[in-house]
């Protein structure tokens, strides 16, 4: 993202109302009259344009980090329990979407691209409408002009990640498709390390490995009980689809974490929905035409699609919060418990039986999520290395380290009402 700073331009006030989007964009130096604009990164507050003196931000962050009294201190904070609970809510949402997809297939309706289209439509209706309300049409079109291409990339990776993953389950067995999901975690770690300069602590690596070990137990249970789907002749084809889907998931998760740390969440979700409708619509028109004609259509199918859309919309709406408060890596390993929740639902809906290794695996994954934050800072993963030492390049939105620093400055009396001192 192109950025531009003005030397010596310190602001000593916190505005309680968000500055209009015209302050987000300004002419590039030496480009007068050219109409060229670029993003000014310091103007993306969700609760207001919190432009705070860098020295106050630095002091507040140091004060927050200085509250740490032991290596497990972050585990005792409210933030840790929030991200842990949100992670499980997201896993349940994914489980719900898988359940509704299975019910649709059982009814003879297999339309992976079409059924996901409604989620993007709902995101557009909610978040694009709100973004236009906040920015106005003129400034919204400026946003499309400057950053639209970036959101197209994010939406493409998200849409096609969904589509290829569904195709993988159609052509390969369950065990192989689930194993390929590990690749998304590997992608997230590698991409975050190389491009976002994230440096993982020993506890984070250990937590990821423990979670993967728990997932291994779940997969082993499926193999022992023979619920891995056998060995269809199209496994190679399915595995390639699964690999593509997992790679796109990993890329989109990291890209979205980068976006929501710099921009208002409603803007990101609105753009994701808008371009998702277009890209998903094209995918549907190309690949789902025959499936659409062959599908069963009745009230029950409509209900399943509505349930699928609701679960997925909740998932997309909560994802930015966990990406801000934690990280794409924690986001991915949190979803590993979805297999356990899927089995619990399957017992009541599809008549599954639970194997004794499943509860052990679930506990193991939860332990891994806890270990991930051992010996971490008091800000957890909310402090993003690509936002500057004091998070000055980030948005002061819900869950961000920058907003936490501003709130700490208020508690210490460094900020009184609208003014920083």
Q: What are the pLDDT digits (tens) for 121-158? A: 999 999 999 999 999 999 999 999 999 999 999 999 99
**CB-CB contact of 8 with 417 (8 Å):** no
Instruction: State percent of the chain over pLDDT 70.
Output: 79
User: If you write DSSP's letter for every residue of 50-66 in order, what string do you get?
Assistant: ----HHHHHHHHHHHHT
Q: Give the separation between CA 323 and CA 305, rounded to whole angstroms.
A: 27
Highest mean pLDDT pick, 19-28, 83-92, 343-352: 83-92
Q: What is the mean predicted confidence (pLDDT) over 293-309? A: 92
Q: What is the mean predicted confidence (pLDDT) over 195-207? A: 92
Cα dihedral 273→265→369→337 (10° resolution): -20
Q: Which of 47-61, 145-159, 281-295, 317-331 has the lowest mean pLDDT?
A: 47-61
pTM: 0.82
Q: Is the pLDDT of residue 215 over 60?
A: yes
**CB-CB contact of 279 with 86 (8 Å):** no
Q: pLDDT tens-digit profile of 66-82?
A: 887 788 888 888 999 99
Q: Is the pLDDT of residue 263 over 70?
A: yes
Q: What is the pLDDT of residue 162?
A: 85
Q: What is the mean predicted confidence (pLDDT) over 357-376? A: 88
**CB-CB contact of 83 with 330 (8 Å):** yes
Highest mean pLDDT pick, 272-276, 294-298, 381-385, 388-392: 272-276
- Which residues neighbour 247 within 8 Å (Cβ) at sequence distance 6 or greater? 161, 183, 184, 187
Q: What is the mean predicted confidence (pLDDT) over 175-198? A: 84
Q: What is the pLDDT of residue 23?
A: 42
Higher local confidence (pLDDT), 149 or 98: 149
Q: What is the pLDDT of residue 381?
A: 92
Query: If pLDDT is split at 50, 70 and 90, which confidence band does 232 have?
Result: low
**CB-CB contact of 396 with 46 (8 Å):** yes
Neighbours of 222 (CB within 10 A): 21
Q: Is the pLDDT of residue 240 over 80?
A: yes
- Which residues neighbour 310 within 8 Å (Cβ) at sequence distance 6 or greater? none
Q: Is the pLDDT of residue 302 over 50?
A: yes
Say how many Å lie between the first and final Cα of the chain, rounded.
31
Q: Give the separation between CA 279 and CA 348, rounded to whole angstroms.
A: 36
Q: pLDDT tens-digit profile of 44-69?
A: 443 444 567 778 888 888 888 888 77
Q: Is the pLDDT of residue 257 over 60?
A: yes
């Amino acid at each position: 993202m192109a950025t531009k700073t003005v030397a010596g331009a310190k602001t000593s006030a916190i505005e309680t109302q968000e500055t209009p989007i015209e302050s987000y964009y300004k002419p590039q130096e030496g480009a007068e009259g050219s109409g060229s604009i670029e993003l000014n990164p310091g103007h993306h507050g969700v609760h207001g344009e919190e432009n705070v003196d860098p020295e106050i931000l630095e002091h507040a962050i140091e004060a927050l980090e200085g509250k740490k009294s032991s290596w497990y201190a972050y585990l005792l904070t409210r933030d840790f329990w929030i991200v842990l609970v949100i992670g499980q809510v997201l896993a349940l949402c994914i489980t719900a979407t898988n359940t509704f997809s299975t019910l649709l297939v059982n009814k003879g309706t297999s339309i992976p691209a079409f059924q996901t289209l409604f989620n993007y439509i709902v995101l557009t209706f909610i978040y694009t409408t709100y973004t236009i309300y906040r920015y106005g049409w003129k400034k919204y079109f400026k946003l499309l002009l400057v950053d639209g291409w970036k959101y197209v990339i994010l939406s493409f990776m998200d849409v096609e990640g969904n589509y290829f993953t569904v195709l993988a389950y159609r052509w390969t067995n369950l065990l192989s498709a689930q194993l390929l999901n590990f690749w998304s975690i590997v992608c997230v770690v590698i991409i975050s390390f190389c491009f976002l300069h994230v440096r993982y602590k020993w506890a984070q690596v250990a937590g990821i490995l423990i979670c993967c070990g728990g997932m291994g137990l779940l997969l082993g249970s499926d193999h022992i009980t023979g619920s891995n789907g056998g060995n269809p002749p199209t496994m190679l084809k399915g595995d390639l689809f699964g690999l593509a889907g997992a790679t796109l998931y990993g890329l989109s998760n990291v890209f979205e974490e980068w976006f929501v740390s710099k921009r208002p969440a409603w803007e990101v979700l609105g753009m994701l929905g808008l371009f998702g409708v277009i890209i998903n619509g094209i995918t549907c028109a190309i690949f789902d035409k025959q499936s659409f004609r062959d599908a069963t259509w009745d009230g029950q199918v409509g209900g399943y699609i509505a349930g699928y859309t609701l679960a997925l919309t909740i998932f997309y709406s909560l994802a930015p919060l966990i990406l801000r408060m934690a990280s794409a890596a924690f986001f991915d390993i949190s979803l590993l418990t979805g297999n356990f929740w899927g089995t619990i639902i399957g017992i009541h809906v599809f008549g599954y039986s639970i194997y004794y290794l499943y509860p052990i695996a679930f506990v193991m994954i939860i332990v891994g999520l806890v270990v991930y934050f051992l010996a971490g800072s008091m800000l957890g993963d909310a402090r993003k290395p690509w936002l500057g030492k004091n998070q000055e390049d980030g948005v002061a939105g819900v869950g961000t380290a920058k907003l936490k620093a501003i709130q700490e400055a208020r508690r210490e009396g460094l900020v009184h009402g609208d003014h920083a001192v």
